[in-house]
Amino acid sequence: MMMQKITCRSRRLFAGAAVSALLMGVVPAFAATPADTLVEAYALDEMITMDPGEAFELSTAEVNANIYDLLVRFDLADTTKVTSDLAESWTVSDDRLTYTFKLKPNLKFASGNPLTAEDVAYSFERVIKLDKSPAFILGQFGLTGDNVAEKAKAASPDTFVFTVDKPYAPSFVLNCLASSVGAVVDKKLVSENAKAMTPGDDYKYDNDFGNDWLKTHSAGSGVFKLREWRASEAVVMDRNDNYWGDKAKLARVIYRHMKESSAQRLALEAGDIDIARNLEPNDLDAVARNGDIALTSAPKGTVYYISLNQKNPNLAKPEVREAFKYLIDYSAIGDTLIKGIGNVHQTFLPKGVLGELDETPFKLDVAKAKALLEKAGLKDGFSVTMDTRNSQPVTGIAEAVQQTAAEAGIKIDIIPGDDKQTLTKYRARNHDIYIGQWGQDYFDPNSNAQTFASNPNNADDSSNQTLAWRNAWDVPELSKETEAALLESDPAKRVEMYRHLQKEVLEKSPFAIIYQQIEVAGVRNAVKSFKLGPSPDTNFVGAVTKE
């Protein structure tokens, strides 16, 4: 991708001509990346804002994970648990309603300002009052603009107290706080840059809590700080020399926007970038044969699925739902279309999550599918449409299912579209069949159980628009079971409840889950200690070095 010409001022901002050339794609004059800089090629076109109180995109979550700290984080050695970050310790009251966090001593923001419990409380307050996309993660604990100051408050400079509305499983609460929306921001710095709101503004409060300023700035305490973000071009992070923990090994990290896998591969092979993040199977195979490059991978909490809208009377038949699960050639898809970037997976909880159920009972069986269709009174098949995103591997999966379904007499008309088109239609429940992906909002089983197994109100105007709702799957009993699992405090019992929910969805639901995503990166051999985590916000680069 050729980027716009950078001004002299921008060149100074990017710390020299070599870095500027990297961002502009000027090669081969500056083919070698700077020794103190990590350059990653990554598809950044989804980025909207860098404000952790608003951002809800995967790439932004990764960047912000390196800029902001949280009270607690996932334990990468065991992702069913959390470990300390800013919080040195925490306790839960006997009634499971009050969480008290003791902060580590001598914490400091990148600005140099001290980090106290007051900053934590302010961070919760601004998330709730901004009420942007990720606010529901904290809002589900009963927080509102009117009560957040009382429910999330500083008891002392080093003590933060969080009160929830129900006795949830403590693991659920902590996992939610370990998500990106729990980022702690510098209250003093953000407040100084807050924009005053007037009565004519479409906003409830008298200021925007720094939302406009944080779109392109940072106010964190993490190992890096944001230097610049240019939409669909680049993100640049500099080392935070005020970091309270072990300092970053490199001075700078640059994410260059490259959407095409082939462009990333060529840049990686030429040495113009250090890491390629969006390689597809064919390019992965080519890179694997290059002795200067290694591949690293990690399973992600994202599952791909086919769903059947229960508003369609044919698709609403239980036998048809089951038949579709026997009309997918999981093995062929795994060996070709998702080779290296996914593993066949048929349950709604991805591997690595508390309560995961690793069962794959379905395989391509056209004869069995035909028998089920005959039992449903559809011996001669029927016609149906399938909405798909116009990208790989989704397009290839749609075509593969179209072919195998035809063998059973089901004629599928594929309707391709961009992400916005297909999602808009899907969210309005106007589809027949849809191929989608679901990534966890937070690393807890409830994130997936609630969307695949719960639909408390199947009305078209319901405000609780889970994936079950989008496909008009009316399941009051499963919805109650999902809520019960959320309140179960015994970890072993909670595991069994989620396994039961997965079996029910596996056998009876309109969802045919196909695979779990594997994130793969091509890494030049000079780069050391680069690891991919189980989620975008666990891809940390502070320990990375270059030889």
Instruction: Residue 334: give its domain's CATH number.
Output: 3.10.105.10
Instruction: Residue 96: give its domain's CATH number.
Output: 3.90.76.10
464, 486: one domain:
yes
264 φ/ψ angles, rounded to the nearest 5 degrees: -65, -45
Predicted model pTM: 0.84
pLDDT of residue 439: 85
pLDDT of residue 38: 98
Residue in the block written with tokens 């007037």: 198
323, 372: one domain:
yes
Strand partners of residue 366 = none
134, 262: one domain:
no
16, 89: one domain:
no
For residue 37, being part of any structural domain is answered with yes
Please say which residue of 190, 208, 234 terminates a domain: 190
Written as one letter, the residue type at 424 is T
pLDDT of residue 23: 55
Instruction: Residue 36: give its domain's CATH number.
Output: 3.40.190.10
Residue 390 structural domain: 299-518
The number of domains in the chain is: 3
pLDDT of residue 25: 47
420, 439: one domain:
yes
pLDDT of residue 3: 38
254, 394: one domain:
no
pLDDT of residue 198: 77
For residue 327, being part of any structural domain is answered with yes
pLDDT of residue 8: 38
348, 457: one domain:
yes
502, 376: one domain:
yes
Strand partners of residue 546 = 527
**Alpha helices (H) in 271-317, listed in sequence order:** 281-288
For residue 447, being part of any structural domain is answered with yes
For residue 209, being part of any structural domain is answered with no
379, 468: one domain:
yes
For residue 1, being part of any structural domain is answered with no
For residue 425, being part of any structural domain is answered with yes
pLDDT tens digits in sequence order for the chain, 547 residues long: 333 333 434 434 444 444 555 555 433 334 689 999 999 999 888 899 999 999 988 889 999 999 999 999 988 888 888 999 999 999 999 999 999 999 999 999 999 999 999 999 999 999 999 999 899 999 999 999 999 999 999 999 999 999 999 999 999 999 999 999 999 999 999 999 999 987 666 678 889 999 999 999 999 999 999 999 999 899 999 999 999 999 999 999 999 999 899 999 999 999 999 999 999 888 999 999 999 999 999 998 899 999 999 999 999 999 999 999 999 999 999 999 999 899 999 999 999 888 999 999 999 999 999 999 999 999 999 999 999 988 889 999 999 999 999 999 999 999 998 877 888 899 999 999 999 989 888 889 999 999 999 999 999 998 888 999 999 999 999 999 999 999 998 989 999 999 999 999 999 999 999 999 999 999 999 999 999 998 889 999 999 999 9
35, 58: one domain:
yes
Please say which residue of 146, 173, 190 terminates a domain: 190
203 φ/ψ angles, rounded to the nearest 5 degrees: -155, 140
pLDDT tens column, 125-137: 999 999 998 999 9
Please say which residue of 136, 167, 190 terminates a domain: 190
In three-state form (DSSP H/G/I as H, E/B as E, the rest C), the secondary structure along 479-525 is HHHHHHHHHCCCHHHHHHHHHHHHHHHHHHCCEEEEEEEEEEEEEEC
79, 47: one domain:
no
For residue 215, being part of any structural domain is answered with no
412, 304: one domain:
yes
For residue 284, being part of any structural domain is answered with no
Strand partners of residue 254 = 39, 236
